[in-house]
């Protein structure tokens, strides 16, 4: 008889939230993670009393009330509002694209003037349905914004020409006709005091936890538990039977600087093609820090390869088609739940991952 009710593979949000509900339902869980820490990509470190987001900035935002009520049981959130900036050469622009952006580009003052300018810029590109990201961007904002604020950043991020990327990616960029610099439209937004680690410690309380534990090094893992919750790469689970899915990763270069304030904002995107990194994150601004020094991280995107962290699925037609074949295999697996960004090969915001894990738990435990 297995020693556990559930073997949860991955101590990120999906695994931790599911494990919490399983433990609350009286089930015995073994949670493993190949990393040396819990929390997945939301894991935080402390350097010189500054909370550092090790795998890039994680600003929590949601419109899902049940998710907000759930997550705020485990931490107090501050009122940080994500207002990134874009730098191209020595010019600074507001993100998301709003009236500040349009004024800087074209000198327009009113929303009507901005709409007229964008209509003028996009008119030559609206005749056909966009087949790639470049065509989509030109049809939405025209060449000025595309060339200065989208093209360079996006091609660095994905390692592909915009003309080779699916148009759906550009849907993540808001277009506004007010002076609102808040990147997200969600009702709830903020960052937990002290970072995310405390949330995961509470979620995983009552579970047996093994870190630096690779699922694929375990002999007969199905013998350990009645059911498995798998949050890793779906193609790896099936031993790359149909070939490898593609991912993008990021090299994070973090340094402490002997200055109170390096860039004056938590996130500055570098949208020119010449700068090798996509953005600089200054972590103290997430918590309105007043420390005498500061910590910054430069992010260098790269193609994923074994030994690196697979951070972003490449959801083009080829990879999505390959994923569907793996998904068909997953649906035939008995007593295995596949969930999360890697197992479902899709971009997930944190609240979406939590919601997905809660739905899975509700189905299993009839909550």
- For residue 13, give every residue at least 6 positions away whose Cβ sits within 8 Å of its Cβ, in sequence order, or none: 40, 42, 340, 350, 353, 354, 357
Q: Which domains does the chain have, with CATH numbers?
A: 4-80+188-243+315-365 (3.40.50.720), 96-172 (no CATH)
> What six digits make up the tokens of 23?
């433990």
pLDDT attached to residue 173: 60
Q: What is the pTM of this model?
A: 0.94
CB count, 10 Å around CB of 129? 9
CA–chain centroid gap for 348, Å, is: 6
Angstrom distance (rounded) from CA 212 to CA 119: 54
CA–chain centroid gap for 323, Å, is: 19
pLDDT tens across the length of the chain (367 residues): 899 999 999 999 999 999 999 999 999 999 999 999 999 999 999 999 999 999 999 999 999 999 999 999 999 999 999 999 999 999 999 999 999 999 999 999 999 999 999 999 999 999 889 999 999 999 999 999 999 999 999 999 999 999 998 888 887 667 899 999 999 989 999 999 999 999 999 999 999 999 999 999 998 888 999 999 999 999 999 999 999 999 999 999 999 999 999 999 999 999 999 999 999 999 999 999 999 999 999 999 999 998 899 999 998 889 999 999 999 999 999 999 999 999 999 989 999 999 999 999 999 998 6
> Is 157 in contact with 301 (CB distance < 8 Å)?
yes
| Torsion 356-361-366-367 (CA) sign | negative
CB count, 10 Å around CB of 126? 14
Angstrom distance (rounded) from CA 331 to CA 208: 28
pLDDT attached to residue 172: 61
Among 235, 234, 232, CA closest to 215: 232
CA–chain centroid gap for 120, Å, is: 34
Angstrom distance (rounded) from CA 331 to CA 338: 9
The Cβ-side half-sphere exposure at 292, using a 13 Å CA radius, reads: 0
pLDDT attached to residue 367: 63
Angstrom distance (rounded) from CA 5 to CA 30: 8
What's the angle, vertex CA 190, arms to CA 186 and CA 192, rounded to 5?
140
> What six digits make up the tokens of 359?
């739905």
What's the angle, vertex CA 356, arms to CA 11 and CA 315, rounded to 5?
90
> What six digits make up the tokens of 175?
């277009």
> What six digits make up the tokens of 14?
């999906």
Q: What is the dihedral of CA 326, 353, 356, 226, to 10 degrees?
A: 70
CB count, 10 Å around CB of 305? 10
In sequence order, what DSSP letters do the residues of 197-234 get, joined into one string? HHHHHHHTTTSEEEES--GGGSSSGGGTEEEEEE-S-H
**Token pair 């009507």: residue:** 112
Angstrom distance (rounded) from CA 130 to CA 151: 16
Angstrom distance (rounded) from CA 226 to CA 2: 6
């Amino acid at each position: 008889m297995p020693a556990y009710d559930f073997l949860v593979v991955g101590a990120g949000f999906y695994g931790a939230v599911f494990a919490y509900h399983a433990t609350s339902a009286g089930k015995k869980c073994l949670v493993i993670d190949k990393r040396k820490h819990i929390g997945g990509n939301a894991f935080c470190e402390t350097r010189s009393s500054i909370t550092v987001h090790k795998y890039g900035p994680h600003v929590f935002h949601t419109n899902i009330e049940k998710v907000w009520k759930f997550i705020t049981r485990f931490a107090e959130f501050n009122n940080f509002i994500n207002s990134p900036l874009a730098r191209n050469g020595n010019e600074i622009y507001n993100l998301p694209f709003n009236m500040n952006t349009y004024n800087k580009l074209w000198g327009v003052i009113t929303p009507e003037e901005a709409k007229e300018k964008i209509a003028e810029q996009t008119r030559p590109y609206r005749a056909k349905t966009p087949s790639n990201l470049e065509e989509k961007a030109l049809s939405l904002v025209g060449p000025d914004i595309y060339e200065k604020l989208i093209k360079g950043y996006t091609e660095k991020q994905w390692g592909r020409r915009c003309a080779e990327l699916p148009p759906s990616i550009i849907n993540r960029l808001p277009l506004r006709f007010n002076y609102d610099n808040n990147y997200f439209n969600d009702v709830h937004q903020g960052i937990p005091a002290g970072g995310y680690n405390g949330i995961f410690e509470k979620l995983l309380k009552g579970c047996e936890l093994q870190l630096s534990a690779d699922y694929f090094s375990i002999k007969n893992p199905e013998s350990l538990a009645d059911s498995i919750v798998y949050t890793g790469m779906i193609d790896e689970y099936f031993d790359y039977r149909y070939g490898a899915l593609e991912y993008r990763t990021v090299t994070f270069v973090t340094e402490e600087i002997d200055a109170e304030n390096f860039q004056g904002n938590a996130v500055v995107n570098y949208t020119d093609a010449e700068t090798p990194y996509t953005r600089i994150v200054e972590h103290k601004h997430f918590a309105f820090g007043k420390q005498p020094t500061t910590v910054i991280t430069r992010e260098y995107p790269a193609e994923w390869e074994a030994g690196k962290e697979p951070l972003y699925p490449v959801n083009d037609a080829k990879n999505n088609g390959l994923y569907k074949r793996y998904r068909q295999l997953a649906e035939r697996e008995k007593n295995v739940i596949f969930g999360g960004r890697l197992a479902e090969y899709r971009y997930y915001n944190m609240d979406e991952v939590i919601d997905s894990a809660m739905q899975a738990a509700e189905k299993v435990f009839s909550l």
